[in-house]
Structure 1
């Protein structure tokens, strides 16, 4: 992208609505409640013929530096320092407030280009707030409606005037370099055979878990900076924020998500939106790290989150965080391994790593477990090997007889990866008992070394070549 723009302003003036309008997607959570946005969220924006990087930020709330609002504002200041231009959003309907004047003074001291954006200008009675914005001394305000898309052409012209055409429109060769599509392959390519695992492709990883399990702290430790808002308060993260970094030469795109409580406890609309955003991150990711609090592991909600991830078909890795608070490491570790095997039979062999997001203990082992699990998740097995295996399994444990008739398993092939899915041609597929399906899945997991990933096995009746002739005789 040619330049970076930060959206700043006090709470509930429409910053996230403008962000969604510019990126063309509903990435940021939007609600009437003030202070929804807490972390700074980056995105790729397009405004007519302008392409740039944009950052959504938390609203200005004057508080002590060590308070939650103070830490939120520190994140906003980092975004302003990182950006080339700030869009200072005010509420034209409500008019100026002392918080707006304070923020204007702070932006003026920064010495960077600023555009005053008078949002909600379509509302009746907004003219007074628009003309009041001239008193801020930051130039002519730009009236828009982020919700309805009005005034976007004027905003485009204001950005070009503030930065200059040379900066707003980079040379053609620079545009070509920045517009290369480096997104990972989509779901439509999942069924193509992959003879070898690609060690260089970008990897999408989602971090999920209960509130206050240490998810944001873990990502900050990976990045080596305070990129995400953290603190002792539970439920700080609301949006699913993505960050990119390199691990041993490989691009990792990691998603921080909101903590997921039990469904019965989620009553507020905002928390429902946060959980829905976390679920979308799980579906978009390839590997999901479920963060457990090692001091109180295996709560019922932890097990439900693991089950949810596996039902979505994602590769799963367990991370027992806060390991620096655990005493008697070996005893606790043996107990965790026993509980993992007993309480998660649907993910037999799932990789579990003790870590500490606070000290950095175990993070290399966690990343190695993520890579190894992703390899298994992408694995493909030849049809010849599968049919030899199916024959041996039937010799060891023949399919049961249902209603006096023996089931016959004739042919097996892998129809997809990500997660591994298999099709078995047989007689009366609807009669195959669940116990025999589990027997086959466990055999696949053990004999082909596929621990900890969901495995799908489907049964299908073979085509009868004489069926059409029998119909004709009738």
Structure 2
């Protein structure tokens, strides 16, 4: 998905009808009665060759108290802040109402990019309403009929250049991962950790279950109430990035929606409630897995941490709400033991305790993030690797399945971000997974690479006899030569 598009407007202007047409199925409830949609609904939209995330919103009502319409309005305003593009719908048959002008002013101030569309514009009866829409000062309105599918080509023409722009932006912001090393870099093994700059800040994703305190944590880092928080679970609905200076280090932090258990992250990565969180993990260099101190290491926490490891990102585990914990030392000891037991693939990853509400432990969190980033970029000289490999093999030789001895001959580091190693060996397909884990754990301890994902690949290199096959080849050539001589003799006769 290259960008997100929020459909906003007064109640009953056809937002949900357009949403259903863009996603290609009836996801949103549609009725002639206004105010049917009360919450944000996301879907994967396709218009021609453009794919994007579309957000259906509640109808904007000019209320500012604590009533339900006012709360719905605030939620819609949040969608306006989150979305890359806002599609402002007006009713071409009804014409402009005072609320349309109020909301146009809100969008002009808050939205990143606004597209104006006059819906229900089929037939001559809508001409006056379409012309009236020019008065909003939001550019030329697109003439749409969401119910009949008219005007989709015009909407495509407007979105196409914006789509290209957002795809370029996404490519620029994506971090370099699986960075290949040259032979010279592998031999030297010099650790060169990229220094974050304002143009290329360190990218951090904060992920976790709903109500773990992700938005509160980022507000504490910012020093202001930038993100909406509250006791209710699931307030954040979209991945929001915030760029800031964190203790002198330029960073971009992604606040993500809580990943719920029923979303089945492992099997269905594109579930609507977690898809932006997945994308945030892919755009991050360091992933902070935020746990609730009261209920840490739930099944969903483990799935989230495992997802970050499989994506090859540096991982830091932060335990939030530590200020309300009574027996801190005993709980911390138990947490470390549990962490080693339930997440062996992240053995040694930093585990820090924080309180997003009070701000305690944030300095330790920054230190852990920078340490994890440095390890993620670590390089090990080839000479050291091969000396270490010899010691590991001498201490615990690889097995000989079916009597075939496996020889580990040579090792080098091929990639960083995360560290990736290649071992040249005989019969790589017969080397058991347990022996690979033995080598990975040894790499972590010997070269100080705790917690970071390590990729270890076995590549075949058999014993090559330079004379193997030459005898058969020479015999074949001699036979062919003798045959040609016999043919010549037969011809002379």
TM-score range, shorter chain: 0.7 to 0.9
Q: Secondary structure at the match of 1:438?
A: helix
Describe how 1:352-371 pairs up with structure 2 within 5 A: 352-371=351-370
Tell me, in whole angstroms, the C-alpha distance in 1 between the residues paired with 2:269 and 2:63: 23
In structure 2, the partner of 1:342 is 341
8 Å CA contact retained: 1:321, 1:356: yes
Tell me, in whole angstroms, the C-alpha distance in 2 between the residues paired with 1:251 and 1:412: 36
Q: Secondary structure at the match of 1:406?
A: coil
Deviation larger for 86-95 or 239-248: 86-95
In structure 2, the partner of 1:128 is 126
Q: Secondary structure at the match of 2:411?
A: strand
Q: Secondary structure at the match of 1:403?
A: helix
Change (3 A) 1:108 1:126: farther
Tell me, in whole angstroms, the C-alpha distance in 1 between the residues paired with 2:41 and 2:358: 24
CA offsets 1:295-331 (integer angstroms, 9 cap, x no match): 1111121112212221221111111111122112222
In structure 2, the partner of 1:101 is 98
8 Å CA contact retained: 1:424, 1:458: yes
**1:183 Cα deviation after fit:** 3.9
In structure 2, the partner of 1:273 is 272
Aligned-residue RMSD, C-alpha? 4.5
| 1:148 maps to 2:152 | yes
Using structure 2 for the length normalisation, give the TM-score.
0.70
8 Å CA contact retained: 2:80, 2:86: no
Deviation larger for 411-420 or 427-436: 427-436
Change (3 A) 1:442 1:286: same
**1:352 Cα deviation after fit:** 0.9
Tell me, in whole angstroms, the C-alpha distance in 2 between the residues paired with 1:443 and 1:298: 26
CA offsets 1:309-362 (integer angstroms, 9 cap, x no match): 212211111111111221122222122122112222121111111112222121
Tell me, in whole angstroms, the C-alpha distance in 2 between the residues paired with 1:118 and 1:237: 28
In structure 2, the partner of 1:199 is 195
Q: Secondary structure at the match of 2:450?
A: coil
Describe how 1:77-92 pairs up with structure 2 within 5 A: 89-92=88-91
In structure 2, the partner of 1:255 is 254
In structure 2, the partner of 1:448 is 447
8 Å CA contact retained: 2:321, 2:357: yes
8 Å CA contact retained: 1:104, 1:136: no
Change (3 A) 1:432 1:141: closer
Using structure 1 for the length normalisation, give the TM-score.
0.72
**1:429 Cα deviation after fit:** 0.9
Aligned residues: 414
**1:112 Cα deviation after fit:** 7.0
Tell me, in whole angstroms, the C-alpha distance in 2 between the residues paired with 1:468 and 1:72: 80
8 Å CA contact retained: 1:144, 1:152: no
Tell me, in whole angstroms, the C-alpha distance in 2 between the residues paired with 1:109 and 1:382: 58
Change (3 A) 1:112 1:205: closer
**1:137 Cα deviation after fit:** 6.1
In structure 2, the partner of 1:53 is none
Q: Secondary structure at the match of 1:253?
A: strand
8 Å CA contact retained: 2:181, 2:413: no
In structure 1, the partner of 2:457 is 458
8 Å CA contact retained: 1:421, 1:457: yes
**1:61 Cα deviation after fit:** 4.8
CA offsets 1:121-163 (integer angstroms, 9 cap, x no match): 66x359538617838964686234598351688999xxxxxxx
In structure 1, the partner of 2:291 is 292
Describe how 1:385-464 pairs up with structure 2 within 5 A: 385-462=384-461
Q: Secondary structure at the match of 1:213?
A: coil
8 Å CA contact retained: 1:208, 1:289: yes
8 Å CA contact retained: 1:292, 1:321: yes
**1:232 Cα deviation after fit:** 1.9
Deviation larger for 249-258 or 292-301: 249-258
**1:240 Cα deviation after fit:** 1.5
Aligned structure 1 segments of 4 or more residues deviating by more than 6 angstroms: 75-81, 109-116, 151-156
Change (3 A) 1:406 1:189: closer
5+ long unaligned stretches in structure 1: 1-5, 40-55, 157-178
8 Å CA contact retained: 2:318, 2:353: yes
8 Å CA contact retained: 1:205, 1:255: yes
8 Å CA contact retained: 1:38, 1:72: no
Tell me, in whole angstroms, the C-alpha distance in 1 between the residues paired with 2:152 and 2:108: 32
Tell me, in whole angstroms, the C-alpha distance in 2 between the residues paired with 1:348 and 1:448: 14
Change (3 A) 1:415 1:111: closer
Change (3 A) 1:302 1:418: same
Change (3 A) 1:388 1:57: farther
Q: Secondary structure at the match of 1:273?
A: coil
Tell me, in whole angstroms, the C-alpha distance in 2 between the residues paired with 1:60 and 1:71: 10
Tell me, in whole angstroms, the C-alpha distance in 2 between the residues paired with 1:396 and 1:299: 38
Tell me, in whole angstroms, the C-alpha distance in 2 between the residues paired with 1:256 and 1:103: 31
**1:382 Cα deviation after fit:** 1.1
